[in-house]
Amino acid sequence: MSSPPCCPLCTRTDVSHFANANDVEYFTTPDTFSFYRCTGCDIVFIHPMLFDRLNEIYPSNYYSFHASEADSIALKIKNFLDDRAFRSITRQIPGNALSALDVGGGSGWLLDALKRADPRVTHTTVVDIDAGAEDAARAKGHEFHLTPVEGFKTDRQFDLILMLNLLEHVPNPAALLEKARGLLKPGGRIWIKTPNFDSLDARLFRNRSWGGFHTPRHFVLFTRESLIRHCQEAGFEVLQCKYTQGAPFWTVSAINELKLLGLADVSANRPSLKNPLTPFFHLAFAAFDFARMPFSKTSQMNIHLTLPSR
């Protein structure tokens, strides 16, 4: 018999049911999972958390295990935005030689982009659970540690730590933030990207396996307000926290609706990311989110952190 759900941050058990969802992307399990909301922490979390079944819920064709090399319009736009974002954050960090850590960085393709954007980045480290990414990462000059971040040990501190689409994948985000604080140099920066469950698409698809649930791989989700609060409670100074486009969540949700209508072929061997409609949906929903971003909450957030000056 499974234990009753309790908040992974404050351990309260007086939580309310939020939604049910299935794995509609990779179909790693037929189980239906429940999401609960802790109003005290203002988070949503999955129950049960399959942190002991990572090899099962992250299949070999999982998207982050394979950096895209396709020469597509979407990829060119993404590379342009990544370069601009990296230059924006690294220009705030002094020094002639910078070190960077990408947690969940796979083959290091984001670190490649970071080095392209700022030549001062001379040492790069990847921490990831994908054994298949190790050789590719090392071949490109990145130090690689095959371990969950909770087990990562090093004497090095970093000028920049990337945790993009990572915080929501760990069972205890507070412990991860504490770990990251110890890995950050004074004057360094942390860039976190994570979903926002208080968004239009989250409300529309809340009871229809919303793409942002990424079931069962997203364990804990925040709002902008709760993300800021928990980062501050972990000892960080928040430099900025902004919404950004959530096209992937819109796309997964839309393709699942088409599948339910018998209009899309999606399966474990052909996940939604491989659907021919996906590139067009990504572009359309990204444009939609960018257009409404100045006055609306979108389903992805970027937050930049540093250590408070003493």
The CATH number linked to 210 is 3.40.50.150
In a domain, 129, yes or no: yes
Domain count, the chain: 1
In a domain, 55, yes or no: no
Taking 60 as the threshold, does the pLDDT of residue 34 lie above it? yes
Mean pLDDT value across residues 265-278: 92
In a domain, 39, yes or no: no
Mean pLDDT value across residues 248-269: 95
Beta bridge partners of 21: 33
- The pLDDT mean for the chain works out to 92
Count, in order, helices (H) and strands (E) of the chain.
9, 11
Kindly state the percentage of the chain with pLDDT values over 70.
95
pLDDT at residue 73, rounded to an integer: 62
Range of the domain at 274: 60-306
In a domain, 169, yes or no: yes
In a domain, 1, yes or no: no
Residues in the chain: 310
In a domain, 8, yes or no: no
DSSP 2: P
pLDDT at residue 77, rounded to an integer: 67
pLDDT at residue 80, rounded to an integer: 73
CA separation for the pair 173, 229 (Å, rounded): 13
| pLDDT tens, residue by residue, 163-189 | 999 999 999 999 999 999 999 999 999
In a domain, 14, yes or no: no
In a domain, 17, yes or no: no
pLDDT at residue 227, rounded to an integer: 98
Kindly state the percentage of the chain with pLDDT values over 90.
84
Mean pLDDT value across residues 9-17: 95
Residues 6 or more apart from 61 whose CB is under 8 A from it? 26, 271
Who has greater pLDDT, 73 or 263? 263
Strands, E, within the chain: which ranges?
16-21, 33-38, 43-47, 98-103, 121-128, 143-146, 158-164, 184-195, 220-222, 237-244, 300-306
CB 150 within 8 A of CB 173: no
Which residue type sits at 132?
Answer: G
Q: Are strands 98-103 and 158-164 parallel, antiparallel or unpaired?
A: parallel
